[in-house]
Amino acid sequence: MRELIAAHEPDVVIATGLAGGRDAVSIERVAVNLIDARIPDNAGAQPVDLPCVPGGPAAWFATVPVKAMTVAVAGRGIPCRLSLSAGSFVCNHVFAQAMDAVGSGARAGFVHVPWATGQAPGGEPELAAGRHRPGARDRRAHGAGRAGRCGRARRRTALTVRGRRPALRTLPASPPLRWPDGAHARGRGGGRRRSGEAAAGRRHPDLAGLPARIAENGWDNVMVRLGEELTVRVPRREAAARLVEHEQLVLPRLAGRLPVAVPVPVRVGRPTRFYPWSWSVVPWFEGEVAASLPASERDGWAELWAETLAALHRPADADAPPNPVRGVPLALRMDAIRDRMSAFARAGELRARFERDAAAPPYAGPPLWIHGDPHPLNVLCRGGALTALIDFGDVTAGDPATDLATAWMTFTPRGRALFIERYTALTGADAAMWRRARAWAAGMASAMLAASDDHAALAAIGRHTVEQVLGEPPE
C-alpha cells in the first residue's frame, strides 16, 4: 500500500476492512501506534506489543471529514456510525500505515464494513436486508470467522480519489488461494462457485457436477458448500493446513465412539503444483451453533455433552498431534494467562480466582484425547438438541481439564451441576480435575475478552464464562 501511495500520489486514501460483530458501517476516527495480535495473520505472524510505525506518534486522527462521511452514508439509508477503535491488528495497522504514508500531503481514513446479509456466522450481527436503500450495491466483504479460533480474514483496499494519477488497487490479505485445478478461490460469486466445483471435481470426478457456493471464508479456511450434503474445507495458510491434516488423521478413529456427529472427512485432497496443502471434503451438518441459544436452553443437553466428552477422553494414540497450548500443565500457561488478565471488567477478580484454581494438583494420568476448543461456537444444535461437535483443529492429547472448561463456558449453574455429576460418574474425575477445569475456563475467558473487539459472539462467551466462574463460592 505504501508503494502504491508513493507511486500514485493520491489526494485521498481510504482503506477498508471487515469488522465482524458490528451491524453498521463504521467510519474510524483514530489509529493507534500499537499492534497487539490475538491470532496469527494469514502468513502465520502474531506480533504483540509492537509499534505499527516505529518512531511514529502514539496515534493518528483521520484527516478525511469523518462526521460528514457518516452523515452522507447514513443519508443513503445505510446504517453508519463513528468509531474510536479500528481493532488491534490488521485493520488498525493498515490505517496507521496509510496515515503515516500520506503525511501532510494528502488525506486518509479507514472504513469498517459489517458482514453482508446472510454472510455472518451464527449469532453475529450483519447488515440486514432492507436496512439500505434499494439499488445500493451490497458488496459482500471477504472473510468469516472460524469458531473457536476466532479471527477474521480481511481484504484491504487502497482507493485513490481525485489523485494526480487516479487508480484503484486491491491488496489481498494473503496470496490468492488456488484450488487443485489452478482456479482462484477468490473473485466474484460465480467464479468462486466454479472454483468450488473444480476443487472436488478435479480429483473426485463423481463430485464434479454438484453445485457449490461459499459458506464461510475465514482466517484459516475457505468452506465451500458442495451440493446439499458436503462441504469442501480448503486451508488459506500453512498453519491451517496442518490443522486439517490433524483432523484427517484423528477423526476417523474418534467418530465411532461419540454419541454426536463429527465432521469425518469423506474425501481428502493432497498438495499439487497448483495448491500446496492438504484439504478435505466433509459432511455438511444442518443446525445452529450453540452460542446462538440462551445458556438456560443449553442446560437441556448438559448430560449428553458430558457423555460426549467422557467418550472422547480415552487414552490417546502415540501419534496424537502435539499442541503447546492445550492439554498441557497449567504451569506452562501461567505467564501468558496472567498477562491477559488486565484489560477487561473484573479482570483482577478473575486473576485471583485463576491463581487459586491453578494451584490444584497437576494431572498425573495418561494423556487422553481432547478436542481442545469445545466452546459453544464449536457445538451444533438442531431444534434445541445437541447434534454435532465440529472444528477439531486443536485436537491433541493431555489433561482433559482443558475440555472440561466448557462447563463454565456453556451452561448456567443448573446445567453445570448436571454436566459435572454425569461426567464424574462416568470417569471418576476428582475435585482437582474440576479446579483445573475452572482455571482453564478463566484463562480462555481472558483470551476472548482481551481481544474480541471484532467478534461479538466470542466476547459474549467470554463475559458469560467470567460470570459463571466468579459466581461460584471459593473452595
Q: Which residues pair with 26 in a beta bridge?
A: 81, 112
Question: What one-letter code names the amino acid at 94?
Answer: V
Q: Single out the catalytic residue among 52, 80, 91, 150.
A: 91
Question: What one-letter code names the amino acid at 424?
Answer: T
φ, ψ of residue 345 to 5 degrees: the values are: -60, 135
Apex 282 CA angle, 419 and 423, nearest 5: 10
CB 407 within 8 A of CB 416: yes
- The H-or-E segment that residue 191 falls in is helix 189-201
Q: In what side-by-side order are the strands of the sheet with 385-389?
A: 288-289, 379-382, 385-389
- DSSP letter for 385, please: E
107-113 and 80-83 strand pairing: unpaired
CB 237 within 8 A of CB 43: yes
Closest CA to 137 of 177, 171, 97, 188: 188
Q: Give catalytic status of residue 28 as yes or no.
A: yes
Question: Helix (H, G, I), strand (E, B), or coil: what is residue 3?
Answer: helix
Instruction: Quote the cell numbers at residue 464.
Output: 458469560
Q: Single out the catalytic residue among 28, 245, 247, 307.
A: 28
CB 377 within 8 A of CB 20: no
Q: Give catalytic status of residue 91 as yes or no.
A: yes
Question: What one-letter code names the amino acid at 326?
Answer: R
Residue 260 CA, distance from chain mean position? 23
Question: What one-letter code names the amino acid at 214?
Answer: I
Long-range contacts of the stretch 423-426 (C-beta < 8 A, 24+): 423/306, 423/309, 423/310, 426/306, 426/307, 426/310
Apex 21 CA angle, 20 and 26, nearest 5: 80
Question: What one-letter code names the amino acid at 178?
Answer: R
Query: C-alpha distances in angstroms, 135 versus 72, 78, 129, 131, 446?
Result: 16, 12, 12, 12, 43
Q: Which residues pair with 168 in a beta bridge?
A: 159
Neighbours of 273 (CB within 10 A): 8
Residues recognised as catalytic:
28, 91
